Amino acid sequence: MLFVLVAYSLYNQISQQQDLLVRWQQIKSSWKDPLFWVVFLLMFLNWGLESLKWKLLLKPLENIRFAKAFKSVFAGCSITMITPNRTGEFGGRILFVKAENRMKAISTNILGSISQMIITSIVGCVGLIYLIYFSNLDSKLVLLPWIFNNVNIYLSLGVSIILVLLYFKTNFFISFISKFKFLHKIVQHIKIVEQFNFYELLIISFCSFFRFLVFILQYIIIMHVMHVEMESSIAFWLIGVFYLMMAIIPTIGFTELPIRSALGISIFGILSTNILGIQVACFAIWIINLVVPATIGSVFLLMRKDVQ
């Protein structure tokens, strides 16, 4: 039933897109470019880093093989396609964890998500500061005041500080909520995160950082393939801001791609007038990074016969 639901959701999300045939034709023509396949291969590096991170996060609970972690992460991708801002990834991942460890595994998954959000917030914040104060794009940035403003800088900086403290000082957070009796049952499940030392948390955050670099590299390459000309140094920070905004804007299922495309046109349109190229680039990244893994993950879920 879950496989059918995910497959139907994927079908709807793709079929409801405007200019689908035009975008798909442009993607098909780009297959002849070797760089397109570099972007596709980077998808496996992207999710490979996430699988390594998931393996490290599960270490206090159970020692799983990398291959199993990889299947688990892809299964999580399929669930994210039907949840707000892809927050439901744990729903697929924990099915590959022993039944007695699943509730605690949710806590470690949240810890991993926090590490990724820290990187997104910091890079996005630095990107905003660089583009607003140190680039020569002043006349173009004023066209997007809702993105490029000091309020977003302060908010992203504040969120980054809070998340870093929460990530590296989880024991203080757990000690605080332990004072409330009605939260004792929750505390029993999340205390597992206290077992991670600073070095282990740092390694996990490095996985998140290198994964974010892969995101950016994929976008830079696919923009080049789609003839969206952008200076790489500026594009790096624009993509960082793009991912920050995508993390903030609420999306669910079929709404993500239109929002992703509209946001991409707004931000990347600062440097390029190739609107169709930007749309197709966003569409291609969505297909490669989300739809393909979600499809593979839904098959892994379908093949999973020993779920308890």
C-alpha closest to that of 131 among 233, 278, 264: 233
Contact 139, 123 (CB under 8 A): no
> Which residues contact residue 101 at a Cβ distance below 8 angstroms, ignoring those fewer than 6 apart?
58, 61, 62
The per-residue pLDDT for 174 is 85
Higher pLDDT, 8 or 201: 201
CB 244 within 8 A of CB 123: yes
pLDDT single digits (tens) 49-100: 999 999 999 999 999 999 999 999 999 988 887 777 777 788 889 889 998 9
pLDDT at position 308: 45
**Would you state the pLDDT for residue 279?**
82
B/e letters for 48-70, b = 16+ CB within 10 Å, e = fewer, are bbbbbbbbbbbebbeebeeebbb
Domain ranges of the chain: 2-303
The Cα 301–Cα 283 span in angstroms is 25
Which stretches of the chain are assigned E, i.e. beta strand? none
Spatial distance between the Cα atoms of 275 and 268, rounded to a whole number of angstroms = 9
